[in-house]
Amino acid sequence: MTAQLAGLLQGLEDSALASAIRQSTWLYPFLEIVHILGIVLLVGAAFLFDLRLLGLSKKLPVPELANHLLPWSRRGLYLIVPSGVLLFSTNAMTLATDTVFHIKLLGLVVGGINAGLFHRYLLSSAPEWPHGHTPGAAKAVAICSVVVWMMVIACGRLLAY
């Protein structure tokens, strides 16, 4: 880690906001609850959508299910990002050097790229898929999604210990 990055991380950890979160009886647990609620929304909706892509609930049309579930994933992201940054700020120096945290961040990047590829290249053709059929590429995206989000959740839990 460069001295400049270390200084930035130490400054974040020493900030009044990070100190207030650490010292508060209720603020850190509140942020954890918000973070977990965001995970439930993002990953829960994504898992349900992935299960459809993997062949379950074939009667549900993929475009309509996407229109219903994926906004909930975005709402979850709106909770996860700010709460995650605030939680990170309370222990920035330690987390920045933790391999499990690096794996979690890598998983977040892979999950985002995976979702982006699906939306950019596959979802628009979903109305043309034969009823109940999901192309192999969409199934591969779904498998990647399930594996990556399970890994991210596992890493997040491991960071607590």
Please state, as a whole number, how many other Cβ atoms lie within 10 Å of the Cβ of residue 22: 13
* Residue 133, pLDDT score: 86
pLDDT(161) > 80: no
Residues 21 and 34: their CA atoms lie apart, in Å, by 14
Statement: the pTM of the whole predicted model exceeds 0.85:
yes
pLDDT for 33-87, tens place per residue?
A: 999 999 999 999 999 999 999 999 999 999 999 999 999 999 999 999 999 999 9
Mention every residue, 6+ apart, whose C-beta is less than 8 A from residue 32: 83, 87
Residues 37 and 21: their CA atoms lie apart, in Å, by 19
* Residue 22, pLDDT score: 95
Residues 4 and 160: their CA atoms lie apart, in Å, by 27
Q: Where are the domains of the chain?
A: 3-159
pLDDT for 92-143, tens place per residue?
A: 999 999 999 999 999 999 999 999 999 999 999 999 988 878 999 999 999 9
pLDDT grade, residue 144 (50/70/90)? very high
pLDDT(160) > 90: no
